[in-house]
Amino acid sequence: MIIQLKDNLSETEKLAIKKKITELGYQSTEVKTQKKNYLICIGKNEVDIRMFGQLKGVADVHRVNEDYKLVSRKWKVSDTTIDLGDGIKINNGAKTIMAGPCSVESEDQIRDMVSVLKKNGVGIIRGGVFKPRSSPYSFQGHGLEALKRFHAVARETGMKIITEVMQVSQVEQMYPYVDIFQVGARNSQNFNLLSVLGEVDKPVLIKRGISGSIDELLQSAEYVFSSGNERLILCERGIRTYEKAYRNTLDLNAVPILKEKTHLPVIVDPSHGIGIRRFVEPMSLAAIAAGADGLMLEIHREPENALSDGFQSLNFEEFEALVNKVKLLYSLL
Amino acid sequence: MIIQLKDNLSETEKLAIKKKITELGYQSTEVKTQKKNYLICIGKNEVDIRMFGQLKGVADVHRVNEDYKLVSRKWKVSDTTIDLGDGIKINNGAKTIMAGPCSVESEDQIRDMVSVLKKNGVGIIRGGVFKPRSSPYSFQGHGLEALKRFHAVARETGMKIITEVMQVSQVEQMYPYVDIFQVGARNSQNFNLLSVLGEVDKPVLIKRGISGSIDELLQSAEYVFSSGNERLILCERGIRTYEKAYRNTLDLNAVPILKEKTHLPVIVDPSHGIGIRRFVEPMSLAAIAAGADGLMLEIHREPENALSDGFQSLNFEEFEALVNKVKLLYSLL
Amino acid sequence: MIIQLKDNLSETEKLAIKKKITELGYQSTEVKTQKKNYLICIGKNEVDIRMFGQLKGVADVHRVNEDYKLVSRKWKVSDTTIDLGDGIKINNGAKTIMAGPCSVESEDQIRDMVSVLKKNGVGIIRGGVFKPRSSPYSFQGHGLEALKRFHAVARETGMKIITEVMQVSQVEQMYPYVDIFQVGARNSQNFNLLSVLGEVDKPVLIKRGISGSIDELLQSAEYVFSSGNERLILCERGIRTYEKAYRNTLDLNAVPILKEKTHLPVIVDPSHGIGIRRFVEPMSLAAIAAGADGLMLEIHREPENALSDGFQSLNFEEFEALVNKVKLLYSLL
Amino acid sequence: MIIQLKDNLSETEKLAIKKKITELGYQSTEVKTQKKNYLICIGKNEVDIRMFGQLKGVADVHRVNEDYKLVSRKWKVSDTTIDLGDGIKINNGAKTIMAGPCSVESEDQIRDMVSVLKKNGVGIIRGGVFKPRSSPYSFQGHGLEALKRFHAVARETGMKIITEVMQVSQVEQMYPYVDIFQVGARNSQNFNLLSVLGEVDKPVLIKRGISGSIDELLQSAEYVFSSGNERLILCERGIRTYEKAYRNTLDLNAVPILKEKTHLPVIVDPSHGIGIRRFVEPMSLAAIAAGADGLMLEIHREPENALSDGFQSLNFEEFEALVNKVKLLYSLL
């Protein structure tokens, strides 16, 4: 059960509500987001929620049986739109494309990329500077300095940046240079990181875990939301199965199911989702056809020379052709 | 390596070719399909295949390193079209839709269905009479008599029938009443059944196994092809993973990968692939967008009263809306 | 619900019982095994089963909510022992070892093997003559003639034979030469084959499917049992997962769980379960420690020269050492 | 390739070695652990490693092709023993048992537990104070204060403590109160945390990821080792598969495979590995029989009243019976 509190609620009123909750055998957690105040109530008894609707200080009450509450569409029926400023929005009707290199390599690379993105009407650039790698001896990204240069070019050209944050201590460092914090698949259940990102006033994109369930993804989002940050984006990026013919099994079933379960935008990353460059286009179109709100794509001016993930990055011509097909497809559906 | 033999090859020529193959350390299997004769050569040595091209009686030679040979696109570059007669073809440009009930229930049901299918330009009706069920106490289908009645209605109305064959002894019984034999996921590696279907002059649709790999599906097709029957259709129907939010994980990655690996048509079954009625439409569109040559759909006039799989069957209105969207999507891509 | 009928039940009594079942909203299936007669009742209503206990002709009644009934330990609490004659029994206290080559290769090979088995007190020899292989071009076993020679040696030496049956038409052919019919992982849900084996008066060992669930294995066993054959053995042989460091993931969790759910003997096949020769011993001991009733092992006098599965077959010295450790372990637990 | 440097190596010698490495097309990473100095060399060329053996300052050279180097048994053949002081060692011949509650609840609980552990010769107590939970509304552990009280009791009674660390900022806080830092399955690829734990002079136990591969576990260990900490323990705790009959699929295949690949101790957690109390004993024995160096067990004086994971915790009687069986089994193998 979610009880949304009135903005002008008095302490006395709040205490009365909490007393009632306890009497009914529920435990409550107070959640104060950047927008509103809630009491999330967990319990096993059946309760007629109308008895809360009449209490002073209560704005609204919803029954949500799932383990996730505030991210549930049972609580908020209308789609959540993420406004990044400068007219760039996610889940606002049109499909959002986020594209860029796996790793930020050089300023030159970024400038080249930005001109391609702008030409194709794409306002969000992705690019990693902290790269989670299975081996300690693999390239780990160019770090904060690269992010600063990345950001300088982006600001100059009006682009928004999404980049991966790997640990709590990076959040503050990265904050001035980031428009969307990305939580990678390996950190999808790094609950401390999620909680800290809940205290940040910038949007967060959470990737599904390597073998994360759909419910776990929603609960990870609930960590961020219940810590205060309502501006969340979910991302399907493929799961781990027995099949060896590709990198990951892109789970497009997750798209309509997530869209029904949550009010948050759902983005698909077909680059990781299949991991083979020439198949990124069909899987991108499939994702849009399945109802995804957008795509996250790896692109590179010379994929064969990329420092990481070149085998799954589109070159600029492939990217442009794909964007055009996505627009056409979207106009149709 | 595949050596295609000339039609008018003499026995002496064939012996000379086989002698050469043996000398080079290869083992050969003679394959005589309803169309042509081949020698499939398996071996570990590196051979310059041009030395075969010059032998008398050899029409063509191709190197195919995969475990599957005749179904490989390395062997046959152009798409295989399946002609069912009466102008009904699969993989001939347009997208093929096969639709019908999970189980054939009554003549009345079939007549109803046929009128909906014809109205929407669908020429192939699916319907099970032998149902593989995990429990011996579940409904197992109405059997051969139901198929005969099903066939009578189909013939009268010009529809083609696809239905599942579960065992070798059914092949001959079912033969007069079937246009496409379907091999279900649980029989995807029933190699005896596949071999017998290789001797039949009607097309065969093979579903991917419950946790079958893409390569295993192609090798199962190779069983049928190498036993003589080149008229094959592959079907992705979802794989088994840890995710519990839906019935199976529809693996749309398999679509572009299969289309690259093989010249055979690739069909998707979103009804089993997600297993939840209201999500069949988005997954159908996603399948088409990923490049599938067609769809296999479960429909029912009253899904809530179906004898089996009602929770994943579309009703007629939903089906009609979907067909229209598929046509629109196809016209675009 | 399972109603066990008295042996001398009259037709009138049976009709009265069935009438009562129908009145209570249940559907019944009559099951006549080689030992007894049962009515398996499926329904959704809650029923006080005592009202059946009082009916004439009823020997016993048990509530079994699972989809499998007759193989459930809720129905039959005591372990089922399989008596193969000549003093060779499965699940009769001691641990049963079945060992032999993946494929029967030659009479000489079998004679060698038998002397090793007898020396180590092993009474059951395994050996394939029909081999299910993913590729049609792989070695498929030496067939029925090999089985006849295999059987001649086994009879002469007092050994019992277990070998895989792949299709219905082989059951009758193989019958005179087989002591236990083995159903392989790929045929674990070949329901027609299972039903036919239910009509045979020889024991059947069913392997778990490649990604079969524990419940599906029990339901497959129910197919055989409800078709008349109570002499069943279940076999865990590894499941398919994402891990690539070995062939299959041997699921030893399945052992204590199966032992609780069913009264049937549970055997483990560590040769397929890990697929790497030097690890067969630790996994065999682990299987016994987990509570398995026995082991099925691939052995070969020269594993490096085996026609199939040599990389997972023990040589005779390794086998002998393992048998001794199993005996020691068993004496302890 | 791993080059172990001499302790008294001069800077000039090191530079000469590094120059040689670069010339041969390798990249090197300098690793200084609490024990020794290494150069880890990554490259694609084939190199005769003897040319390094002759350079001044080189103590030893080993070829290791795997992505993990320092944790490989190719580098260090003999088993690594972890000495916790006060005579408590891991992987020193006998089997190590670590047992305790899922969560530290009260001082009283811990005192009770300690007396049971000591009576049974167990010197390491586990107990969580920071609990990673899928839902933000679930019990998250009693935190640092509970750890302090836990530690006080442990010191007083001579017990060693293993407890889970969830984030970098906890490492320093927890350091005075912990004997072994545990990295949980969800943090198995939290590379920042692993690197920081590499700088700590206390042992680290790393659990395999929820669907982590064996190689990924070894690479995670390599992160810690290459950051300076050689005192590592690996823990198999079950992987995520499609099977629903239990909590996780305990992968005992991983035990002999890890023991071959690495010199580090390998512990098994059957409590999480099957997740059902009455099956913890057989899976514990199976783990030991498979070659595990020890067990990590959840126990509780009243499992039915535990704050978390009660359904998989042994009570004291069950625990005592298990320890006795493990000792007996170990004396045998």
DSSP readout, B26-58?
-EEEEEE-SS-EEEEEE-SS---THHHHTSTTE
- A28-32 long-range contacts (CB < 8 A, ≥24 apart) are A28/A3, A29/A226, A29/D136, A29/D137, A31/A70, A31/A225, A31/A226, A31/A228, A32/A228
Q: What are the tens digits of pLDDT across the range C64-122?
A: 889 999 999 998 999 999 999 999 999 988 899 999 999 999 999 999 999 999 999 99
- Asked if the domains at D2-62 and D82-332 fall in one CATH topology, the answer is no
Residue with tokens 């394959």: B31
Q: What are the tens digits of pLDDT across the range D220-234?
A: 999 999 999 999 999
- C90-95 long-range contacts (CB < 8 A, ≥24 apart) are C90/C203, C90/C233, C90/C265, C90/C267, C90/C293, C90/C294, C91/C233, C91/C265, C91/C293, C91/C294, C94/C330, C95/C288, C95/C292, C95/C293, C95/C294, C95/C295, C95/C326, C95/C327, C95/C330
Q: Give CA separation, B117 vs A105, A303, B276, C212, C332, in Å.
A: 55, 47, 21, 36, 68
Query: Which of B213, B252, B328 is facing A252, going by the closest CB pair?
Result: B252
Name chain C contacts of B189, Cβ cutoff 8 Å.
132, 134, 186
Q: What are the tens digits of pLDDT across the range B101-158?
A: 999 999 999 999 999 999 999 999 999 999 999 999 988 899 999 999 999 999 999 9
Inter-chain touch D168–A169, beta carbons under 8 Å: yes
Instruction: State whether residue D3 is helix, strand or coil.
Output: strand
Which is more confident, A30 or A162? A162
Q: Is the pLDDT of residue A275 over 80?
A: yes
In the numeric block, which tokens belong to residue D93? Answer: 């011949």
Name chain D contacts of B211, Cβ cutoff 8 Å.
242
Name chain A contacts of B273, Cβ cutoff 8 Å.
253
Q: Is the pLDDT of residue C44 over 80?
A: no
Chain D residue with CA closest to B210: the answer is D242
Inter-chain touch D136–A189, beta carbons under 8 Å: no
B·D CB contacts under 8 A: 8
Output DSSP code: residue C75. Answer: T
Interface test with B, best of D242, D244, D251 (most B CBs within 10 A): D242
Average pLDDT of chain A to the nearest whole number: 94
When pLDDT is averaged across residues A247-263 and rounded to a whole number, the result is 98
Least Cα distance to D297 among D259, D267, D255 occurs for D267
Instruction: State how far residue A211 is from chain B, nearest Cα, in angstroms.
Output: 8
Q: What are the tens digits of pLDDT across the range C295-313?
A: 999 999 999 888 888 899 9
Judged by average pLDDT, the poorest of A23-27, C163-167, D322-326 is A23-27
Name chain C contacts of B135, Cβ cutoff 8 Å.
67-68, 219, 222
Interface test with D, best of B242, B248, B249, B251 (most D CBs within 10 A): B242
Name chain B contacts of D238, Cβ cutoff 8 Å.
none
Residue type, A66: E
User: How far, in Å, CA of D32 to CA of D61, rounded?
Assistant: 16
Inter-chain touch D68–A211, beta carbons under 8 Å: no
Q: What are the tens digits of pLDDT across the range B160-171?
A: 999 999 999 999
Chain C residue with CA closest to B27: the answer is C137
Complex-level ipTM: 0.94
Name chain A contacts of B215, Cβ cutoff 8 Å.
245
In the numeric block, which tokens belong to residue B238? Answer: 């979802």
Chain B residue with CA closest to A261: the answer is B245
Which is more confident, B70 or C50? B70
Instruction: State how far residue D318 is from chain A, nearest Cα, in angstroms.
Output: 31
User: How far, in Å, CA of C122 to CA of B125, rounded?
Assistant: 55
Instruction: State how far residue D310 is from chain B, nearest Cα, in angstroms.
Output: 24
The pLDDT-based confidence of D271 (bands split at 50, 70, 90) is very high
The pLDDT-based confidence of B51 (bands split at 50, 70, 90) is confident
Q: What subunits make at least 3 CB pairs under 8 angstroms with C? A: A, B, D
Straight-line distance from the first to the last Cα atom of chain D, in angstroms, rounded to the nearest whole number: 35
Inter-chain touch D289–C211, beta carbons under 8 Å: no
Dihedral sign of CA atoms C273, C279, C284, C290 in order: negative
Q: Are B229 and B201 in contact (CB under 8 A)?
A: yes
Q: What subunits make at least 3 CB pairs under 8 angstroms with A? A: B, C, D
Q: What's the CA dihedral at D42, D46, D52, D54 to 10 degrees?
A: 170
Chain B residue with CA closest to D240: the answer is B242
User: How far, in Å, CA of B78 to CA of C7, rounded?
Assistant: 66
Name chain D contacts of C289, Cβ cutoff 8 Å.
282, 285-286, 288-289, 329
Every domain of chain A and the residues it spans: 2-62, 82-332
pLDDT at residue D207 in the model: 98
* CATH code at C2-62: 3.30.70.1140
Domain A82-332: CATH superfamily, name plus number: Aldolase class I (3.20.20.70)
Chain A residue with CA closest to C211: the answer is A242
Name chain C contacts of A244, Cβ cutoff 8 Å.
244
Provide the whole-model pTM. Answer: 0.94
Instruction: State how far residue D42 is from chain A, nearest Cα, in angstroms.
Output: 8
User: How far, in Å, CA of D311 to CA of D298, rounded?
Assistant: 10
The pLDDT-based confidence of B40 (bands split at 50, 70, 90) is very high
Name chain A contacts of C247, Cβ cutoff 8 Å.
none
Inter-chain touch A195–D134, beta carbons under 8 Å: no
